[in-house]
A = this chain, B = another copy of it.
């Protein structure tokens, strides 16, 4: 450290409790969560807690070691059972494939660790129920990484709806469209196409998000589901040259739903929506106004007020959700300086740390395992309706 004239050192540590983190998975979600852990102490300042990156876990030792080094974890494990026995870890972050959600989360809870799990919570509602029971029994904090609740525009929409500004809600309309499975994309067979590992395809991956946004924004449970699914390509070449893999999950689904409060809804998701990359679009129509949002323009919220004055200019407002009075924005930049997709995790994990340290509830702003379970019930209903051709009544025990 400098001993130069005029130099005054500052304490090396920010004054906040440390929470030891053990992270399972180092790919897309591992990177996104790790970035958030590193960023929130100085951007969500003063932070509720400082995440201490104790260990990263993955099966491929070389890859996990490299990632642990890159993101500044102290070390790594290749077996999550070992990691979950580590007393330096208070928070378990599960970013593994869907078939590694249940067992590690349950073991983590039993070990008294707070659990943050990527979506979908589980491959089925039954599996999710077991996880919910475990975290409730262990009395640890639990959260599902439905990060779009932590987009400022979505939270702003939530606040507007909850304030009654839209009046009675009539419609919820959601689609989540991607195109990475169309033939020209050349995508090989992946675990995401394998029912054993993934549970479902677009349903678990995409429907889970928009089901959660529907429940969050509409503020009611989904009562009935009528759905149809399609698998456009039923086998794909494996990347390792070992032949063809069978696709036994859905490439796309479409569903008509009704919420308990009578709101009529639509849900659609696809991996074959050519040209759409991350096109998660939500629209809500209410008695006094409407809201429209698109993840690819996540800093904007389109809002219409029926009784806008003057009536000559009633129309959808394209609002830049980038001002200090919008959710979280005071932590970021001046108006018009947009934030990125990754920032949702900064907000989300800051919330979870706040819940851990200060004993707050994850819900309603974050999705806890109750939400994760209820979403899984709806996902199961989509599968069942598509299989039987009948509308399914959702039952939440």
Question: CB within 8 Å of B: which residues of A?
Answer: 1-2, 4-12, 14, 28, 32, 34-35, 38-39, 42-43, 45, 54-55, 65, 68-79, 82-83, 85-88, 156, 159-160, 165, 170-171, 173, 175, 177-180, 182-184, 224, 226-228, 230, 232, 252, 254-258, 262, 264-266, 268, 270, 272-279, 285-290, 295-299, 301, 303-308, 310-320, 322-323, 325-326, 332-343, 385, 389-391
> Do B285 and A276 touch across chains, with their CB atoms under 8 A apart?
yes
Say whether, besides A10-B68, A10-B69, A274-B290, A313 and B306 are in contact (CB < 8 Å): no
> Do A42 and B65 touch across chains, with their CB atoms under 8 A apart?
no
Among A32, A287, A289, which residue has the most Cβ atoms of chain B within 10 A?
A: A287
Say whether, besides A76-B10, A228-B264, A277 and B336 are in contact (CB < 8 Å): yes
> Do A183 and B10 touch across chains, with their CB atoms under 8 A apart?
no
> Do B252 and A274 touch across chains, with their CB atoms under 8 A apart?
no
CA distance A301 to B65 in the complex (A): 37
CA distance A380 to B166 in the complex (A): 33
For residue A172, give the distance in angstroms from its CB to the closest CB of chain B. Answer: 10
> Do A75 and B38 touch across chains, with their CB atoms under 8 A apart?
no
Say whether, besides A258-B228, A317-B316, A69 and B14 are in contact (CB < 8 Å): yes
CA distance A217 to B82 in the complex (A): 54
A4-B82, A226-B256, A252-B264 given; 16 more Cβ-contact pairs under 8 Å:
A1-B75, A4-B88, A6-B79, A7-B83, A12-B74, A14-B70, A170-B273, A274-B304, A278-B335, A278-B337, A297-B338, A298-B338, A305-B313, A338-B341, A339-B340, A339-B342
CA distance A165 to B311 in the complex (A): 13
Picked from B11, B175, B226, B316, the residue with its CB within 8 Å of the CB of A227 is B226
> Do B54 and A43 touch across chains, with their CB atoms under 8 A apart?
no
Picked from B76, B256, B277, B340, the residue with its CB within 8 Å of the CB of A256 is B256
**Chain B residues whose C-beta falls within 8 Å of the C-beta of A6 in the assembled complex:** 77-79, 82-83
**Chain B residues whose C-beta falls within 8 Å of the C-beta of A4 in the assembled complex:** 82-83, 85-88
CA distance A299 to B294 in the complex (A): 14
Closest 3 CB pairs of A and B: A278-B336, A277-B336, A6-B82
Picked from B71, B77, B268, B343, the residue with its CB within 8 Å of the CB of A266 is B268
**Nearest B residue to A263 by beta-carbon distance?**
B230
**Chain B residues whose C-beta falls within 8 Å of the C-beta of A88 in the assembled complex:** 1-2, 4
CA distance A77 to B7 in the complex (A): 5
> Do B252 and A171 touch across chains, with their CB atoms under 8 A apart?
yes
> Do A227 and B256 touch across chains, with their CB atoms under 8 A apart?
yes
